[in-house]
Amino acid sequence: MSQQPEKFEATSANITDEQKAKLKALFPEIVTEGGKIDFDRLKLTLGESVDVGKERYGMNWPGKADCFKTIQRPSIATLVPARDESVNFDTTKNLIIEGDNLETLKLLQKAYLGKVKVIYVDPPYNTGNEFIYPDDFSESLETYLRYTGQVDADGRKFSTNSETDGRFHSKWMNMMYPRLFLARNLLLDDGAIFISIDDNEVDNLRKVCGEVFGEENFVATIIWEKKYSPANDATWLSDNHDYVLVFAKNKTIWRPFLLPRTEEANARYSNPDNDPRGNWKPGDLLRKDVQKSGVFRITTPNGRECDPPPGRSWRVSPDSYQELVKENRIWFGKDGNNIPAIKRFLSEVKDGVTPLTLWHYDEVGHTQEATQELKKLGISAFPSPKPTRLLRRILEISLPPTGGHIALDFFAGSGTTGHAVLEANEEDKGDRKFIMVQLPEPAEEKTFSNIAEITKERIRRVIKELNDKDVGKLKLGSEVISNRGFKVFKLQSSNFKAWNTEQPKDDAELVKQLSLHVDHLVAGRTQDDVLYELLLKSGFPLDTKVEKITLAGKNVFSIADGAMLICLEKELTPEVVKAMADKKPERVVCLDAGFADNDQLKTNAVQTMKSKGVTKFQTV
């Protein structure tokens, strides 16, 4: 530890540095002096597996190169808590974030890297008339702040992606690619993403996902029957389905959970011969190819001789067949003269059903049902909502009920994902968590100022319904009720003034900037605002346990049971520095202004922290 505390890094994770670190870990020999990557040496290391040809299979479109620049540009924004819009802020693990999802995904990189079990998104379908994220959102936080009226009244920027635009598909892919790239980083190795889409962009989306997640990690294209009746006024064919694309982070280890067996599935099993092992159903004893060991003649109890048909063979060898006969596992029909079948007992089958790729509306809901769900909650107008049952099915096959796993939805819309998580937890007393991100884009429902308000209000009303049902059943303050809530955070510029490198470097401007940075906290921001920015950018999730304690007469925030201490007081003393060091946290962060230009106090603080084994002491 030097004589000065480290400066706190007030930006999101640097994706480029992280990618280089991965390369260095795999191929340390390719890193040159200064941390540069020697690509010629990488080619030598990989040998013939490097494709150096000019023509190769792949997907390209106008603006793709800029997608990578967008990904690599760290965010200097923050997420500001809105306690008055939250429910059970101090106890809940759920999050609703109001803001542009690109900036938000960047901000979540440090704290949620590899921690999300499942992602569901319902992005704009690019039909030519719906709202598309303004083009410049990928370039500047200021664009978002102007759009939401947080900077000035410079005209809110709306955008639709017209089919007459020469880059109709390219614009949509440029919007999706960086978001999917950043989302992939957040998934657990055994996590998966589910993406709703229709025919307009399903082929492009699959190709983009193939690049981001790897073609080898494509799992399935689910067909969701979204309507229960035909549209007889359709010009061509009635459009009755949407798709849900499924990609795994690592398909070799991701598996969907089995669905519960239905009465209909169990009814296929019976016990015509009163076998003591219970109900069973006949299975095909033939395979669809020829295996030498499976080509032999079987004689039925009534003397009929059975040979495998041409091009086929029995699934078992002669010896294995005789063992099955002894065990009464071969069925020749009631008259003992049928082609043999193998008995498959209900007691021996998997405790569930493998999910299908065709999802009928009677099983997972339809669009009209989704609209009715919102109307019951007092929300009368919302375009193309998804039914809660659709999300329940996705959660059922991808999100365990226990373990505190996270479902992320960064195109949250009306909040169906959060609704589904709350319902699932209510049903089995699980501890699933949700993170939903929604842009405050204009709402058709005039009761609400924007869609983010609908997202929040829907979840409030769902929570109220659940609580009303449980009056008298649960003790207030129980774990179940405490997690029936959500913390609201809003995307905002950093709490710390950034040094403006774009201004002219004349003396007058330099003096002006220096005067602004005497206290570089943005005016009007609270300690709560600063606290959560430091938490997020230090790699702590937003639901991390935070306790406010008093040490030597000063307020100090204890993070994760004392793993980190944050003091945002502006008049630090030797006593509070010592009291924090005596707690022996791993990290301590203080305001630089707290030392009030007292270099001696700052130097002594560094030594005090070092003597107590504090790993990192930072000022901001």
Tens-digit pLDDT profile for residues 304-316? 999 999 999 999 9
Domain match, 97 and 237 both = yes
265 within a domain of the structure (yes/no)? no
DSSP code at position 593: G
pLDDT over 70 at 56, yes or no: no
User: What is the reported pLDDT for 138?
Assistant: 42
Q: What gap in Å lies between CA 5 and CA 595, rounded to an integer? A: 11
Q: What confidence category does residue 500 fall into, taking pLDDT thresholds of 50, 70 and 90?
A: very low
Supply 160's token pair. 């639709």
Q: What confidence category does residue 159 fall into, taking pLDDT thresholds of 50, 70 and 90?
A: low
Domain match, 226 and 375 both = yes
pLDDT over 70 at 374, yes or no: yes
C-alpha distance across the termini of the chain, in Å: 17
Q: What confidence category does residue 53 fall into, taking pLDDT thresholds of 50, 70 and 90?
A: low
Q: Based on the structure, what is the number of domains in the chain?
A: 4
Domain match, 394 and 362 both = yes
Q: Which of 381-385, 513-517, 577-581 has the highest mean pLDDT?
A: 577-581
pLDDT over 90 at 432, yes or no: yes
For 378-394, b/e burial (b = at least 16 CB within 10 A) is ebeebebbbbbbbbbbb
CA 401 to chain centre: 16
DSSP code at position 449: S
Taking residue 160's Cβ as centre, other Cβ atoms within 10 Å add up to 12
pLDDT over 90 at 88, yes or no: yes
Strand partners, 491: 79
Residues 6 or more apart whose Cβ sits within 8 Å of residue 392: 364, 420, 423, 424
Mean pLDDT on 479-487: 77
Supply 26's token pair. 């795999």
Which residue range is the domain that position 541 belongs to?
507-619
Strand, coil or helix: 312: coil
Mean pLDDT of the chain: 86
Q: What gap in Å lies between CA 481 and CA 389, rounded to an integer? A: 22
Boundary (domain end) residue, out of 493, 521, 555: 493
595 within a domain of the structure (yes/no)? yes
**Helix axes of 168-186 and 101-112: crossing angle, nearest 10 degrees:** 20
Domain match, 107 and 193 both = yes
Strand, coil or helix: 497: coil
Mean pLDDT on 365-391: 92
Of residues 51 and 295, more confidently modeled: 295
44 within a domain of the structure (yes/no)? yes
Mean pLDDT on 600-608: 94
Domain match, 120 and 230 both = yes
151 within a domain of the structure (yes/no)? yes
Domain match, 456 and 603 both = no
pLDDT over 50 at 502, yes or no: no
501 within a domain of the structure (yes/no)? no
Mean pLDDT on 502-512: 50
Domain match, 112 and 23 both = no
Domain match, 275 and 129 both = no
pLDDT over 50 at 556, yes or no: yes
> pLDDT tens-digit profile of 238-254?
889 999 999 999 999 99
Q: What gap in Å lies between CA 547 and CA 600, rounded to an integer? A: 30
Domain match, 600 and 466 both = no
Domain match, 147 and 185 both = yes
Boundary (domain end) residue, out of 347, 367, 396: 347
Q: What confidence category does residue 140 fall into, taking pLDDT thresholds of 50, 70 and 90?
A: low
Q: Are 188 and 114 in contact (CB under 8 A)?
A: yes
Domain match, 328 and 434 both = no
84 within a domain of the structure (yes/no)? yes
pTM for the full predicted model: 0.83
Phi, psi values for residue 509, rounded to 5°: -70, -35
Supply 355's token pair. 């999910």
pLDDT over 50 at 517, yes or no: no
Boundary (domain end) residue, out of 19, 37, 72: 72
Mean pLDDT on 380-407: 94
Residues 6 or more apart whose Cβ sits within 8 Å of residue 7: 618, 619, 620
Mean pLDDT on 56-74: 84
> pLDDT tens-digit profile of 180-218?
999 999 999 999 999 999 999 999 999 999 999 999 999
390 within a domain of the structure (yes/no)? yes
Mean pLDDT on 274-279: 94
pLDDT over 70 at 236, yes or no: yes
Supply 223's token pair. 């067909």
User: What is the reported pLDDT for 38?
Assistant: 75
Domain match, 100 and 245 both = yes
Residue 4: name the closest of 613, 590, 453 by CA: 590
Pairing state between β 95-98 and 487-493: parallel
264 within a domain of the structure (yes/no)? no
